């Protein structure tokens, strides 16, 4: 505990640069360490808290053996909106139902749109749980109600409404399909993008013609989301429509297309990907190799 107290003193010392390698001390805190950290946390300057939180999020993403959940949960109530938003992102693997109530509270009441949008997106994991039959209806009804209200609230920020639509997209209820189509046909680019994104979550094959059309969009963001959705739907007929995007002018569109072809798999997708193994771009070659490993493992599960 003495060593941990020394580390807390180091964190509070604004004259010392933040040592990212030492943040692992904050993983899997014992009860007394957690209490000491949470007592010290509000006394850190705002910028320091932002730095710590961002680094913890990145560490948690890079190393699944690290666990900062107790810190992320506590920081959902931080005074700074950037810290709150980062804390929500840090809980991306946290699927316990005790997270539903605080996320709903943030979506309904937080005064920062970015925080509300993050809260909406985070509720999407519970929509998936419901679709897989692992979330009781009493919990899902709370999630559905708050997301539906956010989507239909014309006074809400588009970022929040779009995030709520993307979160509910996996739900098979008829009103969700209507909301997705309404967003796609709206005048708002943000909602149109979210509509396409939600189509990929929705897993309804009736969206396929729209996705094929948007793969040819003049807008790179729409092409990106359409390719991503095709990969999510794993629609084999999409392969021939995706192949031209391997030459797209936008690097992110090219890379998401590679990933989509890997998700869909099959002989035609593999043949298209192989042609890019010697691409001049290192990131492109790496993406192709990763996609091909997915294709090959799907054909031969023993490779996993």
Domain ranges of the chain: 2-216, 217-299
Q: What is the mean pLDDT of residues 75-85?
A: 98
Contact 128, 170 (CB under 8 A): yes
pLDDT band at 300 (very low <50, low <70, confident <90, very high): low
Question: Which pLDDT band holds residue 304 (cuts at 50, 70, 90)?
Answer: very low
Q: Is 188 helix (H, G, I), strand (E, B) or coil?
A: coil
pLDDT reading at 144 higher than 60: yes
Q: 252: which 2 tokens? A: 């992110």
With 60 as the cut, is the pLDDT of residue 303 above it? no
Which residue spans within the chain are E strands per DSSP? Answer: none
Q: How far apart are CA 167 and CA 28, in angstroms?
A: 29
State the residue for tokens 């009493």: 138
Using CA atoms, how far apart are residues 265 and 271, in angstroms rounded to an integer? 10
The predicted structure's pLDDT at residue 218: 97
pLDDT at 34 over 50: yes
User: Could you give the dihedral angle defined by the CA atoms of residues 68, 69, 71 and 76, in that order, rounded to the nearest 10 degrees?
Assistant: 140
Neighbouring residues of 159: CB distance < 8 A, sequence distance ≥ 6: 113, 114, 117, 190
Structure tokens at 172: 């098979």
pLDDT per residue over 244-264, tens digit each?
999 999 999 999 999 999 999
Question: How high is the pLDDT of residue 11?
Answer: 87
pLDDT value, residue 301: 52
Q: Quote the percentage of the chain above a pLDDT of 90.
A: 86
131, 170 contact by CB (below 8 A):
yes
What's the rounded Cα separation, in Å, for the pair 176 and 151? 10
Give the residue-averaged pLDDT of 71-84.
97
* Confidence band for 207, pLDDT divided at 50, 70 and 90: very high
Distance CA 156, CA 73 (A): 25
Q: 255-290 burial, b for 16+ CB within 10 Å, e for fewer?
A: bbbbbbbbbbbeeebbebbeebeebeeeebeebbee
Alpha-carbon distance of 148 to 139, in angstroms, equals 14
Is the domain defined by 2-216 classed in CATH 3.40.630.10? no
Question: Quick check: 302 pLDDT over 80?
Answer: no
Please determine, for residue 2, whether its predicted confidence score (pLDDT) is greater than 70. Answer: no
Residue-wise pLDDT for 152-202, tens only, equals 999 999 999 999 999 999 999 999 999 999 999 999 999 999 999 999 999
Residue 301 three-state SS: helix
Share of the chain above pLDDT 70, in %: 98
Section 264-268 average pLDDT: 95
CATH 1.10.10.10 is right for the domain spanning 217-299: no
pLDDT for res 203: 85
């Amino acid at each position: 505990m003495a060593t941990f107290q020394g580390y807390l003193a180091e964190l509070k010392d604004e004259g010392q640069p933040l040592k990212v390698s030492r943040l692992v001390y904050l993983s899997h805190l014992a009860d007394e360490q957690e209490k000491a950290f949470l007592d010290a946390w509000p006394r850190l300057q705002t910028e320091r808290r932002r730095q710590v939180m961002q680094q913890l999020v990145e560490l948690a993403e890079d190393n699944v053996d690290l666990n900062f959940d107790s810190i992320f949960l506590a920081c959902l109530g931080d005074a700074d909106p950037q810290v709150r938003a980062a804390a929500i992102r840090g809980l991306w693997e946290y699927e316990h139902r005790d997270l539903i109530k605080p996320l709903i509270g943030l979506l309904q009441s937080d005064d920062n749109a970015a925080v509300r949008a993050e809260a909406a997106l985070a509720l999407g994991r519970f929509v998936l749980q419901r679709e897989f039959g692992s979330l009781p209806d009493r919990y899902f009804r709370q999630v559905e109600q708050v997301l539906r209200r956010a989507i239909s609230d014309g006074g809400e920020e588009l970022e929040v409404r779009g995030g709520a639509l993307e979160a509910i997209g996996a739900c098979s209820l008829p009103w969700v399909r209507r909301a997705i189509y309404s967003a796609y046909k709206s005048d708002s680019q943000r909602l149109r993008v979210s509509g396409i994104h939600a189509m990929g979550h929705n897993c309804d094959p009736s969206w396929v013609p729209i996705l094929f059309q948007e793969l040819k969009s003049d807008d790179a963001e729409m092409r990106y989301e359409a390719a991503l959705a095709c990969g999510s739907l794993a629609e084999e007929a999409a392969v021939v429509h995706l192949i031209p995007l391997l030459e797209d002018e936008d690097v992110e569109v090219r890379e998401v297309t590679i990933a989509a072809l890997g998700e869909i798999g099959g002989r035609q997708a593999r043949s298209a990907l192989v042609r890019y193994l010697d691409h001049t771009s290192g990131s492109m070659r790496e993406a192709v190799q990763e996609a091909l490993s997915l294709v090959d493992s799907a054909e031969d599960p023993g490779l996993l």
